[in-house]
Amino acid sequence: MPGCDADPAVLAWARYYTRHPRQFESQLQAVLPRLVYVQQVADRYDVAGEFVLLPWVESRFQPVAARKRRPAGMWQIMPVTAGAMGLRVDGHYDGRLDVPAAANAVMKLLEQYHEQFQDWRVADYAYNAGEFKIRQMIRTHGMPAEQPAIPHLPVRKVTREHLTRLLGMACVVREPERFNVSLPTLPDEQQLVQTGISRSMPITRAADHAGMSVEALRHLNPAFRSNTIDASKAPYLILPARHARQFRDALLEQASSAGGDLLAGPGGGDIAARPAPEASMVRKTHTVRRGDSLWQIARVYSISVSQLQRWNRLGGHALKPGQTLTVSAPNQERSEELPSPVQKRG
């Protein structure tokens, strides 16, 4: 997409973001785990890299809490839009605040916008103003030329500014030295990974297993609205790599000492639960939801795509909502090496 000097407004926003360089670096460091995770998702969808920074424009990567009929999550998704994107929203769970689910849904949507308009600038307009409205404008006024960098479609000022702000932040990342800032790096131990859970548990127990405070775990997994991590809503947590390993080890140790997992259910009583997927001898199934892909399902259940295809006799990658897939098999069938829960394509 257009660079720093494409439009004076782009450069103005880049300077605005970095007017206090050390503060900017600190803010960027704080949100870097989420940013890197989003980058990995964007890579899988071949979405323009600038859109990795979209949550910065929307919310500074903060998990904005849901309010009635208001946008929520770091992507600022409206409730009606969430439904169209396949994100579940109810009284106990809000998919707009689920980092993996929302990131995949948004990147898939942006990919579709680009396939339709063949212009990433217009894709950003569609994200902010709505696909229908932008499609109507294109029919009336035609596709914008490459110049000016900020298309002169008759959109609202806030929509035009949305693109300008996105390009301004991308400008900083592209030329940090120009603004007297240094971009932070993220150690492997702090990278976010999906960690599968087979049964629901209180958030306090999940935090204890992960070696984290309840507040820190809730900040990374704000989609769960109650004090219970509900595996029926999302069968995973997102955790820093180091804490993910500790969480899995704790579940395995508990299963070993108790003759099976003892994870508290929503009512607070201890109930028998399956051990972590890698230790399970019981076949499990997954019902395909709108927006699911083989890659996503494989990562949730810590298996490989090839295993998923083999166990379900799938010749390709096409899935249908409502389709039931086998997502576990006896240990002896799972001897092939599994990929890491989060992995960049390429």
Do 264 and 166 lie in one domain? The reply is no
Instruction: Read off the DSSP letter of residue 324.
Output: E
pLDDT in tens, 193-216: 999 998 999 999 999 999 999 999
Do 45 and 77 lie in one domain? The reply is yes
Instruction: Read off the DSSP letter of residue 290.
Output: T
Give the other-Cβ count within 10 Å of 227's Cβ: 12
Give the other-Cβ count within 10 Å of 281's Cβ: 11
Q: How many structural domains comprise the chain? A: 2
Handedness of CA 72, 78, 82, 88 (dihedral sign): positive
Amino acid letter, 251: L
Selected residue with higher pLDDT from 277 and 141: 141
pLDDT in tens, 147-160: 999 999 999 999 99
pLDDT in tens, 314-341: 877 788 888 888 887 644 343 333 333 3
Backbone angles phi, psi at 210, to 5 degrees: -85, -10
Do 161 and 250 lie in one domain? The reply is no
Which of 156, 179, 202 is the last residue in one of the domains? 179
Average pLDDT (267-291) is 50
pLDDT in tens, 74-106: 999 999 899 999 999 998 999 999 999 999 999
- What pLDDT score does 333 carry? 43
DSSP string, 96-124: GG-HHHHHHHHHHHHHHHHHHHS-HHHHH
Average pLDDT (16-21) is 98
Domain presence at residue 346: no
- Bond prior to 148 in cis (omega within 30° of 0): yes
Which of 179, 196, 212 is the last residue in one of the domains? 179
- What pLDDT score does 91 carry? 87
Angle in degrees, CA 271, 275, 279, rounded to 5: 160
Q: What residue numbers bound the domain in which 101 lies?
A: 4-179
Domain presence at residue 217: yes
219: domain CATH number?
3.10.350.10
Do 37 and 168 lie in one domain? The reply is yes
The yes-or-no verdict on residue 303 having pLDDT over 80 is no
C-alpha span between 145 and 133 (Å, rounded)? 19
* Burial of 210 per CB tally in 10 Å (0-12, 13-18, 19+): buried
Domain presence at residue 343: no
Domain presence at residue 78: yes
Do 23 and 70 lie in one domain? The reply is yes
Do 221 and 109 lie in one domain? The reply is no
pLDDT in tens, 144-193: 999 999 999 999 999 999 999 999 999 999 999 999 999 999 999 999 99
The yes-or-no verdict on residue 67 having pLDDT over 80 is yes
Do 159 and 21 lie in one domain? The reply is yes
Do 288 and 316 lie in one domain? The reply is yes
Do 201 and 72 lie in one domain? The reply is no
Do 18 and 52 lie in one domain? The reply is yes
Instruction: Read off the DSSP letter of residue 154.
Output: S
**pLDDT band of 306, cuts 50, 70, 90:** confident
Average pLDDT (271-280) is 33
Looking at the DSSP assignment, which residues form a beta bridge with residue 239? 193
Do 136 and 230 lie in one domain? The reply is no
Average pLDDT taken over every residue of the chain: 85
Whole-model pTM? 0.74
**pLDDT band of 116, cuts 50, 70, 90:** very high
